Amino acid sequence: MKAFTWQRALTLGTMAGALAASLVAASANAPSPSAVALPDGLPALPSLTQTMQSDMRTAMGLRGFDPVAYRVDGRAVAGQAKHELLHEGIVWRFASAANLAAFSDAPEAYLPAFAGFDPTGVVAGAAIETDPRQFAIVGSRLLLFSSAESRSKFLKNAALLDRAEAAWPALRHTMAR
């Protein structure tokens, strides 16, 4: 076995440095993950800073609850598969043909505010999923909440709506479409 010497240590250090330099050079020539092209016809992938708006497994708006019923019946009502409509890539279900027709005529009037995310989360800059049974109609807008506590907190502080409105454009900008 060879004795350890400073000369041997310098030789090992030089070899390690050369190996590291060759690895860096090899990785510089390799295509970056962002440079890999997707097959034709596929949508672009969202960035790591984007939030997906809807459940991609079902693409079901309001988890199948009828967006018109919140105003007509004053409660969350499950929609039926026989009354479905595809709007902007999301499947919406309705409790009746009349509700489907109302939505078809003016979808903007029935879509939830903040893309269905909890406005208390929007204020904090977060897209928080909601429970469609936790809702409030404020003015002409349908607001959904993640919990009864979140709903109560929001309704007790009228300034939160203005704060959510102010925060929404920045949060919306980070969302995948």
Summarised one tens digit per residue, pLDDT across range 24-71 is: 455 455 554 445 555 565 555 544 444 444 454 568 999 999 999 999
Mean pLDDT of 66-79: 97
Percentage of residues of the chain with pLDDT beyond 90: 62
For residue 154, pLDDT over 50 is answered with yes
- Contact between residue 84 and residue 114 where contact means Cβ atoms under 8 Å apart: no
* Neighbour-count burial for 32-45, b at 16+ CB within 10 Å, e otherwise: eeeeeeeeeeeeee
The pLDDT value recorded for residue 28 is 53
- Contact between residue 111 and residue 67 where contact means Cβ atoms under 8 Å apart: yes
- Identify the burial level of 121 via C-beta atoms within 10 angstroms of its C-beta, where 0-12 means exposed, 13-18 middle and 19 or more buried: buried
Give residue 34's identity as a one-letter amino acid code.
S
Interstrand relation of 51-52 and 175-176 (parallel, antiparallel or unpaired): parallel
**pTM for this structure?**
0.68
The pLDDT value recorded for residue 40 is 64
pLDDT band at 11 (very low <50, low <70, confident <90, very high): very low
- Contact between residue 110 and residue 71 where contact means Cβ atoms under 8 Å apart: yes
Mean pLDDT, the chain, as a whole number?
Answer: 80
The pLDDT value recorded for residue 37 is 59
115 closest CA partner among 54, 58, 63:
54
The pLDDT value recorded for residue 53 is 43
